[in-house]
Structure 1
């Protein structure tokens, strides 16, 4: 696995949900805050997005994609919305239109609006660095994979096609990967943009993520990255914010937490999979990190 894939898979839960929305004329809808990530794909027309909390309005055009990684509440409207006009916004649930029948008269706008369920207790720092609103404009030649995913989504939404019930959520999963990938390519600032641009740090992270249970040492990891131990320590710590072995410990415990959350495999198996020599060794490290034993953690998260 690579870092971006792991960062996404660690927090993602279940399958995404989506609704198609077609509106026309004067309209303004509110989407409530969500304990996950929201997204919008503008399939046709143009509109505006105004995030809660005084964020800057965002103008959206056909083919634009928006990701709201922390599920911030927001308003979608036919044009710029002043704070004093927000009272006219109606709940999204009252106007979403699964049958895609236009509402109102005038210029028509068509959107695919949806949500991803996310587990926020162990967010990878790459995902934590995403801004409140990630706006990916439809520009010629930019992010061809994302553009292809948007085109495929539009086609799947046209009519009832065999296999659509499986194709649509799978495409939405791909959309999340492509949105995060596009952001890492476009971001002008941020620690993880620099991390992924550094070949030494990226090589070390790729090795750790590919085989987290291996018996890693600083010397072996430096050899994998093709540099000296001192060079690796300096560059990795400066960019990632913690030394390589400290990052490995954090990542192993994050993987252990995910296995405890998602499966019923014995603790001994979880320990083996995450590089701990025994259930006791994992339990000791896990309790120090989470403040509870693996067994109690599993009971709590699986009970909801």
Structure 2
């Protein structure tokens, strides 16, 4: 078990607990949360993953994001076990498959997620990506779930600007509270148009994979001279610099995934890093935002 000084624990909890993102309905959600993609799929890692999630909550990362797709429900089962006894401290988010997002099927999908999570409500329910089911049906189902108290609010995921425009043109489409998309230092395509469009309508972004998925791109980020210089300057890890970059703007939430307590602690501590103008200029120079429209990155 990771041994963390109580004063450090309390300090991080206080720091992360005050970092909130405002939502259009007047409520707010934690800015720094925890992703769960791939968690719950390996029985040998189950206890460590549960410990990591519970530690994250203790450190103020109280938003936990999951989906019925993750491990065909295994992730939701794991989260349900991890939040036993602390459900009231957790801002719980799950996502519905597009093919299950019709007016009636979404009710059944949500009920199954609630059963796996062992809770009676979700704080936020997202359409995982846009499929063939008409958005009007999905909206109607989401609004019914809200009326029944099964979800507090709803949003979408992997929606590009034209998808968001379609959504908000429909009845009750303006009830969408968030759009969860891939966003990190090496994937800044949303800054060209989507991020600005959502900001004009006060709809925040929830960044998934804010540390970048494994592979060459992640290595390029971590090994770059600029990130290494900034990490040394602040006395932190390179991954923490990348996460801190994502947290600079108060209307962007981030949900890094961690399968062990050590990484969870590093994620939580990234909220303490204050990147200055020189840091941001260095990072912009090495990993600039695109100057033209690009397809929405999805993994």
TM-score over 0.5 for the pair: no
| TM-score category, normalised to shorter length | under 0.3
> Which structure shows the higher strand fraction?
1
Larger Rg computed on CA atoms = 1
